[in-house]
Amino acid sequence: MGSEVFCVITESHWISVPRSDSDLLRGWAEPILLAAISKHSLASLVPLEAILFDIDGTLCDSDPIHHYAFREMLQEVGFNGGIPITEEFFIQNISGKQNEHLCRTLLPDWDLQRARKFFVDKRSHVSKVNFNKLLASEQLEPVKGLKKLCKWIEDQGLKRGAVTNAPRPNGELILSILNLSNFFETLVIGEECGRAKPFPDPYLTAFKGLELSNKHAFVFEDSVSGVKAGVAVGMPVVGVATRNPEKLRLDAGASFVIKDFDDLKLRNALENLERKA
């Protein structure tokens, strides 16, 4: 990416931010402070070279499965007095969050190493419900219009990558169930990067792996943390409204929000890109 400089807004002021990977990774301690970055239009991406996707909640609505798993494991350790967490609590406090955040917010009284191990070993903690079988038994369906969009991406010869905060086994399993394992050229796992979303590291890793520039790519994201991560690297983000309220995504910096991949707003944006190419 060189040493190019671009501008962002924080509160009411424009500031310049170094564009090199090292400066980005060193300097952005709290991407939440940069949530007011100016929104980018897809029309500015010509020629479009790549489209990136989050996995959970974007390619399919897997949140109910994760809610069930977290509800079981937290209830087992007496969280909230043993009262099961609600779907609303899961969406607001757990969905899309990285393990370090969950350690601090859900288990603040635990020794940090113990809390980390609890979430890292989530799959073993949920052995009673057998996450893999639960996931498969739900027969996850892709978000409406995804198959058609993937065909369009292939026809356009675009690069594609999946970028997720989910553990690698979960991400790979979902892609397999959706028959998308061979569609994506790269799979980036947030916890395998320096920092997970909402930090920009996972998308910087995807750019490097696909040899991309933020000037010619955009991403689909359903979570606020994911939107912030995409915006943090100066890339347009299309919010997917499977669960989180549309306003939360827009406030985080999404260019626009769609209900699914058949949404007329997306169709018009892609047709506009084709005309300008």
Catalytic residue numbers read: 54, 56
Question: Between β-strands 13-18 and 5-10, what pairing exists: parallel, antiparallel or unpaired?
Answer: antiparallel
45, 69 Cβ separation under 8 angstroms: no
At 238 the three-state DSSP class reads: strand
Strand 256-258 relative to strand 237-240, pairing: parallel
- Helices vs. strands in the chain: H and E counts, helices first: 13, 8
The angle, 0 to 180 degrees and rounded to 10, between the axes of the packed helices 201-210 and 224-232 is: 60
Q: Which two tokens stand for residue 172?
A: 């790979």
Q: Which two tokens stand for residue 245?
A: 């309220």
Check: CB of residue 18 under 8 Å from CB of residue 1.
Answer: no
